[in-house]
Amino acid sequence: MSLIVFPAIDLKGGQVVRLAEGDMDRATVYGDDPTHQAMLFAEAGAQHLHVVDLDGAFAGESVNGEAVQAIVKAFPGHVQLGGGIRKPENVERWFDLGVSRVVIGTAALENPDFVRDMAKAYPGGIVVAVDAKDGMVATRGWADVSTVSVEDLARRFEDAGVASLLFTDVGRDGMLKGCNVPATVDLARAVRIPVIASGGVAGIGDIHMLALHHQDGVEGVITGRALYDGRLDLAAALSVAAAA
């Protein structure tokens, strides 16, 4: 299994956007047709998508549901979805609609039993988002910072049956500073759960670096702004990842 590249589609008000450091007031709009964007990624060879309902992350419930459904229906591969998924009925609904994996963030810290229950109910379908600000876990759309360390939260789910950990360095997200490869690899080595890297991917060099650590437990990488700004060619990224 090679490194998985997840092109990102972040939804705000039904539009495709990217945020800077998770700040809703610093959103750049890249289009108003999420389904078209998903198909462009598919045409470039993507077999996986990472979709985030940004409004949902702050509201604690689905806000861009129609757009997500349209993406899932059109995209021929696997869709991983996050943003405001904090109740069992939310999880069940998205799996019923064809989402491949559901990302749980805030609820993982505030209600860990919920994650364990969902991981048992949907084997291989639950991803825990570990969002870090200076090494500590951030929640509620990254607006709140906890006193729990990234590794501490990750270890709580080692035996829960979650599919992966999605590690985001919030300070780098949408900033094109380069992915925090050392922190990602440290987390992958510290736990027995595969880790997906996110936040700050600036170009093909980040894909190369992460691919080198595929054997350490780095399962994949999410990239958004670098693709939209033309700094990273998706087909090239997929080629590098396939060689991992």
For the segment 128-154, what is each residue's pLDDT rounded down to a tens digit? 999 888 878 887 655 677 778 999 999
The residue from 53, 55, 131, 169 that is catalytic is: 131
* Strand ranges for the chain from DSSP E: 4-12, 15-20, 23-31, 48-53, 78-82, 101-104, 126-133, 136-139, 144-149, 164-169, 195-198, 218-223
The residue from 10, 169, 173, 206 that is catalytic is: 10
For the segment 199-231, what is each residue's pLDDT rounded down to a tens digit? 889 999 999 999 999 999 999 999 999 999 999
For the segment 55-80, what is each residue's pLDDT rounded down to a tens digit? 998 888 899 999 999 999 999 999 99
Q: Once rounded to an integer, what is the mean pLDDT over residues 78-106? A: 95
Check if the beta carbon of residue 96 is closer than 8 Å to that of residue 73. Answer: no
∠ CA 119-156-83 to the nearest 5 degrees?
55
Q: Is 131 a catalytic residue?
A: yes
Q: What is the pTM of this model?
A: 0.94
Distance CA 108, CA 152 (A): 12
Residue 19 domain boundaries: 4-242
Q: Is 113 a catalytic residue?
A: no
CATH of the domain at 81: 3.20.20.70
Distance CA 92, CA 110 (A): 20
pLDDT of residue 147: 77
Domain count, the chain: 1
Token pair, residue 154, equals: 């990750």
